[in-house]
Structure 1
Amino acid sequence: MLTRILPQLYALTFPEVAAVNVYIWLDGREVTLIDSGVPGSAPAIAAVLVELGRRPADVVRLIVTHGHVDHYGSAPDVAGWGAEILAHVEDAPVLRGDVPKPEPTLRDWERPIYEAIPSRPAPTVTVDRELRDGDVLDFGGGARIVAIPGHTHGSIAVHLPAHRVLFVGDTVANVGGYTVPGTFNVDCDAVGRHAAAIRDHDVDVVCVGHGEPLFGAALTRWRDAGS
C-alpha cells in the first residue's frame, strides 16, 4: 500500500509484515529510501518507484534506522541498484554479519508474542557509511541523524528540519489505532524516554517504522494524550 504524505514523501506499507514501512523521499530525480523491508521486498519497491516516475537506479542512498531484518532485509538488493547503504556505527556490524543481532530484554507480556514471530534468515550487506549522532546528510534540505539507542544499540532518527519531518524507526509504533513506544527493545527505559522526546519534537510529520505515519489530527491526538 502506497501513501502520499508530502509531495516529496511516500510510505510503502507491507501489511502482511506487521505494517512495516519503507519510506521514499524524492529530491528531483534522486531517491532516498528510509529502510527497505524484509528480504524479498525489492520488487515491490522497484514497482512503486516506476509508478512514481523513477527507476531503481535513481536510488542514491538507503538509510537503515536499525539493525532488524524487517527494516534492512532488502538492503542487498538496493545496494545492487547502486545505492549507498548507511547505518549507525553500533548497528553496522549486525548488517555486515560480523555480530549477531542482540536479543531484546523482554517483558513478560512480550515473550509469547516475540517467540511466535517466524524467524527470518538475516542477510548481510556492506555498510558504505557508518553514521553517528549529529551527522548531516545531503538530502531533504539537510537531514540530521539523531541517535536514539534503546530499541537497538544503533537505532537512529532522521530529522529533516526544512520539511518538519522526523523518521523514528521502531522507537514509536502506530498500529491498530494505538501509538506507543516500540517493543522488543534492548533497553525499554531508553525507548520510553526517546518516545516522550519524539512526542514533543517540533515537527509536523512523524514517520514510524510500523503502522500509519503521524501527521495532522493523528499527531495532535497523540501529543494531547501525553500532555
Structure 2
Amino acid sequence: MLRITQVADGVHFAETKGVNWTLLTEGDSVTLVDAGYPADAPLVAASLDRIGRRPEQLLAVLVTHAHVDHIGGLPALLASAPGARVLTSEREARHARREFLEQATPRDVAANLWRPGVLPWALHIIRAGALKKVSVPAAEAITGTGPLDLPGRPVPVVTPGHTSGHTCYHLPDTGVLITGDALVTGHWTSRIDGPQRITPFFDHDREAAGTALGLLRPLPADILLPGHGPVHRGPVAEAVDTALGR
C-alpha cells in the first residue's frame, strides 16, 4: 500500500501500512523527510516516481529520528542518490550513525505483547525488516537556525523525548508541520484515531516527550503530517491539547 496526497503546493504526504514520509518539491529538486523501514525502499523510490522525480534529483533527506522505521529505506535510496545529504539535529545525527541506540528492544516488545495491536504490529515490522541493523554513516548535524535552503524551506524544531534528538520540521510558507513520532494520529498499537502521543514503550523519555509538545503548540500550522496515521487538518495547538488530554 502506498498512498500519496498533495496537501499543499510542493508538499506530498506518503502513507503506507506501517509508516509515513514526506516529499517536498521545488522545481525539479526534492527534499525527503524520513524513509520508512528497510522493506519500504522500493516504495520510497516509487513515491518519487509518482510525483515525477528521480532519486538523482534528491538534494537532502531530513530525519525526524533514527528509528529503523524512519531510516530503514535510506541505505538503498542513497545508493542511487549519491549527491543527497542526510540532515538532522546534532544529537540525532549521532543516533543515525549508531554511536548509540535509543529504540524499543525485542524485550520491550515482548513485555508489551499483551497490549491490543502489539502482536500484529510486531509481525508486520519483522516482515518490514525491523530486525536489520541499519545505520546512516553520512548523517550530518544541521547547523544554524531558521529555514534550511532546501525545497520546502523547512525549519527544524528539536523536540527531544521520543529520542533525545527527535526533530520536527515546520513549513511556515504552507502551514505544514511534519511531526515524526512526537505527535501521531494513529498506530497499530493504538485503539484511538486523531492527534495522540505514541504508545508509551516507544518513547525513550516519556516525560521529556510530553514537555516537547509544548514547543509545537505556538507554531502557525494547520496541516499535521505525522510519522504514523493520516494527515490531520486543524490548528496544531488544538492537536497538542488533544494529545495531552487537555
TM-score by length of 1: 0.84
Aligned runs of 1:51-70 on 2, under 5 Å?
Answer: 51-70=50-69
Match of 1:129 among 140, 147, 157: 140
Matched with 1:203 is 221
Match of 1:12 among 11, 14, 19: 14
| 1:37 partner letter | G
| 1:8 partner letter | G
Q: Are residues 1:179 and 2:185 paired?
A: no
**Counterpart contact for 1:38–1:71, Cα < 8 Å:** yes
TM-score by length of 2: 0.78
**Counterpart contact for 1:30–1:58, Cα < 8 Å:** yes
Match of 2:168 among 150, 153, 157: 157
Q: Secondary structure at the match of 2:38?
A: coil
**Counterpart contact for 1:79–1:85, Cα < 8 Å:** no
Q: Are residues 1:88 and 2:94 paired?
A: no
- CA distances 1:66-91 after superposition (whole Å, capped 9, x unpaired): 01000000111222212211122212
Matched with 1:39 is 38
- CA distances 1:119-153 after superposition (whole Å, capped 9, x unpaired): 52121222342126835411246322111000001
| 2:41 partner letter | A
Matched with 2:189 is none
| 1:201 partner letter | L
**Counterpart contact for 1:148–1:155, Cα < 8 Å:** yes
Unaligned 5+ segments in structure 2 are 187-191
**Counterpart contact for 2:93–2:139, Cα < 8 Å:** no
RMSD: 2.9
| Distance 1:224-1:94 versus aligned 2 partners, 3 A rule | closer
Between the two proteins, the alignment pairs up a number of residues equal to: 220
**Counterpart contact for 1:200–1:223, Cα < 8 Å:** no
CA shift at 1:182, angstroms? Answer: 2.3
| 2:43 partner letter | A
Inter-partner Cα distance in structure 2 for 1:141 and 1:48? 17
Inter-partner Cα distance in structure 2 for 1:92 and 1:222? 28
Match of 1:120 among 119, 128, 131: 131
CA shift at 1:200, angstroms? Answer: 4.2
Inter-partner Cα distance in structure 2 for 1:200 and 1:192? 15
Unaligned 5+ segments in structure 1 are none
| Distance 1:166-1:219 versus aligned 2 partners, 3 A rule | closer
Inter-partner Cα distance in structure 2 for 1:137 and 1:126? 21
- CA distances 1:25-81 after superposition (whole Å, capped 9, x unpaired): 111111110000000222212222222111111111111100100000011122221
| 2:15 partner letter | T
**Counterpart contact for 1:140–1:160, Cα < 8 Å:** no
Match of 1:192 among 198, 210, 229: 210
Matched with 2:100 is 99
Percent identity between matched residues is 28
The structure whose RCO (Cα within 8 Å, separation 6+) is larger is 2
Q: Secondary structure at the match of 2:169?
A: strand
